[in-house]
Amino acid sequence: MIINAHNLLQNKQFIKTQKAQGIAYLIENKILGNHIYSPEVFFITGSFLQADEITEIKEILLTYEISNREVFARPCPLYPRHGFVDSRRIKTIENFLEVWQETKRVDSFSELILMPYIEAKYNLVLTDRNVAIGAGHDGATAGKNTMTLPLKVNIDSFPKTLINDCPYFELVYDKDSRLYCVQLRNGPIPSQSNGDYIPCDVTVNNVITAEGDLLEFEKIIKQAKTGSVVHHPGGTLLSHYAVHAVLSEIPIIFKDRKPLIGDVLKKNTRENQNIDQSIFKKGLVIGLNYGIDLDYVNSLANSMLVILHQFLIMKNDRNGLFLAGFFSAFLLRLSYAAILGEMRHKTKNGHKPGREQVYSDFLISYENFIKQRSKIFKSWKSFRFENWPGNYGGIKWACCTLMAMKLEDQIILYLRGKSDINKIITSAHNVINCAHNTGPFLNKFIQGRHFDAIANGNVYETLRGIVKIYKYFYGKIDNDNLLNENKNSLNNKMKVFKRCSLRDKQLKRYIKKITNQNKLCVNIQFKILDSSNIEKIIHFQIGKKHSYKTMDIFVNENTFDKVNQLIKLFPGKTGSLTTGKTKYNIVDNFHKLKQSNLLGSDIYRIESLIPNIKNEYELMEEINNG
């Protein structure tokens, strides 16, 4: 009997072998997005072939031959077994009958699958806990030159009749960068916990819901006391919320049922293993020094998202820890490249440098990175305080720049021995979150849909990132093959980088300087009607006229009420058209305006320009989140 995708629903009960049932289930239910040649997969079942079935198989082979493709014949034993008949490519009916007869001699209940032959560059085996990848069509399945990484992706549940223990997916990645799922089978459950995260026994006295503004959530987590639990229904350990909670060792419950006050939760994770600081540091140093070809930046950027989102899963794995260090440094360089790429639009002499040249300055070598990093703080000042045309630059870019500078500070402090891995990863997630929310930031390297897909554990986007990791890093992590440089030279470079001034200190000095110079002016103008119904303008100026930044606010008003209130707040010379000529200090007197609530929403526009180091980070975060 010959069954294909068109008659699968009516005839699937005739498919008996586990391998064939797994492929049929993938096709029927579109598991993993159904990236399989489903219309061209044929199941050959039964003990004997009828003459009309042999004729149909000849037609199938002819169709493949006409389209210049090869057929792959896959023998399927009734039950999984090692050393069964090898799969192979076939062209003729004689080839088919040969493999059919050989299969039946070994297992009379066996079946045969015909499907397109895929020229595989890489082979992967995926479970709900990890992934193994190797070169060629059977690298992972045969255990040849493989790399294994802990991994958590969204995989569907399966009926017990098909999967008793754990689903194992076999996938291949072809020369055209397409990923195909070619098999589903049952396998043992890997020994890694990825359910609720409960690092220790706890009695619940506070439940925090994982929702809303992430930066506000981070503050809540930092202030949470013993007994606090995060409820993240339907979430995974890949989410930003989970990253903040786990790094603070606060339990997370992913089930729909919300924990109740007084519930006792029992520890369910393995004993915390000591993170090998040296392997993370090694990845960090190489990430700062690695010369990156611009042709590979986009694919590495996707891999970066995968690793940083998967950090909680990978942090006790040697390869995963190295990659977390490497991509934290890569994210910093990528962010700085994007920032100077945006600054191209602010050129004063009309000459705009090419984007590729700007990017290569940060990505091609460590020396260029150190040389160009001095421009980043100037870029922040421009985004923060200067006027930007259209959709370029502005306050959103100031937010992203500030987050990137905070990441650099954590890396420098870590190399000085004054920070830790968790703080670096938290800062990296804040940069990614800022980039995600802001839109333009990093969009030259990562498409917006990839942010969502990888954050949500999308199988195909995640595995594409894993493939690139294998391509660039396999066999090099422990063999020091990533840099053609001796350790003494590398150590000297890092000594220079560790001595770099912290951005936070630069920020504080600059804010103090411009606050003292009072480089801000706000012009408030009211249009009013006098007793003769003639429109007049009442003008208030707060701050110095020739300031670094001037803002004009126009308020339509038909009474003198608000004007009189402002006169009381800022007494000075008055006239028929102008009042408040005294140049009031904007920083010292802004709180008067805010408390008076006279300007409504316009007060926010003023606040966004007032330099005050105490509130600078909070203000940036507030603006970034709307």
Same domain, 236 and 141: no
The three-point CA angle 254-257-258 to 5° equals 85
**Helices of type H across 474-626:** 487-498, 503-517, 561-569, 586-596, 602-607, 616-624
Q: What is the pLDDT of residue 583?
A: 45
Q: How many residues would you count in the chain?
A: 626
Our count of domains for the chain comes to 4
Q: What is the pLDDT of residues 76-133, one digit of tens each?
A: 988 876 557 888 999 999 999 999 999 999 899 999 999 888 889 999 988 888 888 9
Q: Which two tokens stand for residue 232?
A: 């993240």
Q: Give the C-alpha separation, 384 to 624, whole Å.
A: 12
What region does 457 belong to: left with phi over 0, alpha with psi -120 to 50, or beta?
Answer: left
**Listed range (27-31, 202-206, 383-387, 422-426) with the worst mean pLDDT:** 27-31
Q: What is the chain's mean pLDDT, rounded?
A: 79
pLDDT at 395: 80
The pLDDT assigned to 392 comes to 83
Domain final residue pick, 481, 508, 535 = 508
Q: Which of 456, 485, 508 is the last residue before a domain boundary?
A: 508
Residue found by looking up tokens 């603006």 in the block: 623
Considering the domain architecture, whether residues 178 and 239 belong to the same structural domain is answered as no
**Are 32 and 162 in a shared domain?**
yes
Q: Are residues 130 and 217 in the same domain?
A: no
pLDDT in the model for residue 187: 74
Give the least confident one: 158-167, 392-401, 442-451.
158-167
Is 225 within 8 Å of 219 (Cβ atoms)? no
Q: Are residues 98 and 170 in the same domain?
A: yes
Does residue 624 lie in a domain region? no
Same domain, 504 and 525: no
Give the alpha-carbon dihedral of 430, 433, 439, 443, to 10 degrees: 80
Q: Could you tell me which residues are beta bridge partners of residue 173?
A: 122, 179
With respect to residue 195, please indicate whether it lies within any of the assigned structural domains: no
CB 358 within 8 A of CB 337: yes
pLDDT number for residue 190: 61
Pick from 199-213, 223-237, 474-488: least confident: 474-488
Residue predicted with more confidence, 200 or 79: 200
352 and 414: one domain? yes
Q: Is the pLDDT of residue 562 over 70?
A: no
- pLDDT-derived band at 521, boundaries 50, 70, 90: low
Mean of pLDDT values over 252-258: 86
Q: Between helices 421-438 and 616-624, what is the axis angle to 10°?
A: 50
Is pLDDT at 509 greater than 70 in this prediction?
A: yes
In this model, does residue 575 exceed pLDDT 80? no
pLDDT number for residue 103: 92
Question: Domain check: are 177 and 211 in the same one?
Answer: no
CA-based nearest residue to 487, from 289, 343, 296: 289
User: pLDDT tier at 251 (50, 70, 90 boundaries)?
Assistant: very high
For residue 607, what pLDDT band results from cuts at 50, 70 and 90?
A: low
Residues 207 and 319 occupy one common structural domain: no
* Closest alpha carbon to 306 in 435, 467, 141: 467
Confidence of residue 587 (pLDDT cuts 50, 70, 90): very low
Predicted pLDDT of residue 577: 34
Average pLDDT over residues 267-290: 77
Whole-model pTM? Answer: 0.76
pLDDT at 522: 66
Euclidean distance between CA atoms 402 and 617, whole angstroms: 8
Listed residues 458, 478, 508: the one ending a domain: 508
Residues 223 and 311 placed together within one structural domain of the fold: no
Q: 427 and 496 share a domain? A: yes
List the one residue out of 344, 352, 355, 343 whose CA is nearest residue 382. Answer: 343
Using a pLDDT cut of 70, give the percent of the chain over it.
72
17-65: pLDDT as tens digits:
888 888 888 887 776 654 555 567 889 998 889 999 999 999 999 988 8
Decide: 187 and 166 in contact? Cβ < 8 Å: yes
Q: Kind of pairing, strands 42-44 and 179-187?
A: unpaired
pLDDT at 230 over 90: yes
Angle between helices 395-415 and 421-438 (to 10 degrees): 170
On whether residue 592 sits in a domain, the answer given is yes
Q: Is residue 626 part of a domain?
A: no
Together in a domain, 501 and 526: no
Please say if the pLDDT value at position 255 is more than 90: no
pLDDT for 122 equals: 93
Is the pLDDT at 539 greater than 90, yes or no? no
Provide the domain limits for residue 414: 277-508
Q: Is the pLDDT of residue 461 over 90?
A: no
pLDDT of residue 574: 38
